[in-house]
Amino acid sequence: MPQVDGIVSGLDTTALINATLSLDQLPKQTLQRQVSTLQARSEHLASFTGRLEAVKASLDALSDSSSGAKVSVSGSPQVAATSTTGALQGSWDVQVVKLARGTTLVSVGGFDSRTAPGAVGIGSMNISVGGVITSVSVGAGDTSLDAFAARISSVTGAKASIIDTGAATGRYRLSIQGQDTGVDHAVSIDTSGLASGAIPMNEVSVASNAEITIAGMTVTSSTNRIEGAIPGVQLDLLSVGTTTSSVDIAPDDTAMSDKVKAFVDTFNTAVGYWKANSKSDAATGVRGALSGEATSRNAIDDLGRLAVSAGATLTGITSLADVGVSTLRDGGITFDKAKFADALLRDRAGVERLFSDSSSPVLALRDRIGNVYVDATEGSLKNAGSAIDASIREAQKQMDTLDERLAARATTLRARFTRMESSLGQMRSTQSYLTSLFGSSSSGGTK
């Protein structure tokens, strides 16, 4: 900013301009305070939305039908078992008859070098994976053992490697493995198209399917992981056995209780955050960022209402209060684990319905949060945040317009003061001239 302090007038013209402009800046300062308030509200609304999403995630976990199942294995250690979705209480006898295997081929003869060219001849070879034959060319640069193995590995489902036997001659053997187990992924190779002739290979492992018996029934699989043979249970086959392993599925009361506790914790976190940021202090005039924000207020009201509601078609256990979840005066909720355990003993099916039935308050609360408040495209909290952001952009546009006006105003004021200084300078110059002129005339008359 060029200085125009009065050289002639002696006035601090810069200070006068700044004082004038400071009055013009009052509307901008008001807008700046509004933007600061809106930005704080937008940030806190986004944080509150994240806390509601955590509540929904905890309700998703609570309504998962697999939440109350644990799986254990006893007897012969042939399998490992884990719960997936929909596991039902019961016990199953499992025996592993065969493990799934993939193809392994090893060259009959050895090679003296991995890197020297000429280990194999040029030409072509056919590689079959699961009955699909791929023709692979072998050029002059592919005749070393390492390069030849790389050409084999270029076929999906086959992998070639070099075995170092340490022998004095014929030290290296070519090995080809199928990448997947099961008869449908068997691998074979025909190298009769090479100029050096076919490479004899031993099949040391034949591709085969896994086979187990469950409750006297035979089940086969192309892999050693079996799903669906026991509802809601994944079996990982470890070894062949001559006796059976017992896979036992029982209710996992601890896991279910932990999920209820997780819901209570996320609920209280969301409520606590909203309360802390929606307070207004009349004495100091300090208002929380969410004070007066209607959408978050509605969400809190819905959380409180649905947390104490009952399922319309449920009988026996109909509300969260029946399983130890009760409300507090501050709007939060608390969890009585002992009451929950007692409810499971009295009516396990009723507890499970509370978390999964279509009329359950748990599902109603989950769907209300997900569909009404935190939906990424149509959620009311997203819409409220978008409206705030639009207000911020509008206020910033107004501030930009004010800045342009203030800049123009400053330019005008500087031009006026510059003209004033120029005029004063001319007047002073004229005064000096006249003083000098009349002074000389007076001196001449006295002589």
Q: Give CA–CA dist 280/289, Å, rounded.
A: 9
Q: What is the spatial distance between Cα 232 and Cα 89, in angstroms, rounded to a whole number?
A: 10
| Most confident residue range from 40-44, 266-270, 286-290 | 266-270
Would you say the C-alpha torsion 354, 359, 365, 370 has a positive or negative sign?
positive
Residue with tokens 């590689």: 127
Q: Would you give the distance in Å from CA 112 to the centre of its chain?
A: 53
pLDDT in tens, 393-443: 888 888 888 888 888 888 888 777 777 777 777 777 777 767 777 776 655
Name every residue whose Cβ is closer than 8 Å to that of residue 434 and which is 6 or more positions away in sequence: none
Judge whether residue 212 has pLDDT over 80.
Answer: yes
Measure Cα distances from 393 to 294, 308, 386 in Å: 21, 41, 11
Q: What is the pLDDT of residue 188?
A: 97
Give CA–CA dist 183/206, Å, rounded.
Answer: 8
pLDDT band at 2 (very low <50, low <70, confident <90, very high): very low
This model's pTM is above 0.75: no
Strands (E), 245-322: 245-251, 280-281, 286-287
Q: What is the structure's pLDDT at 444?
A: 54
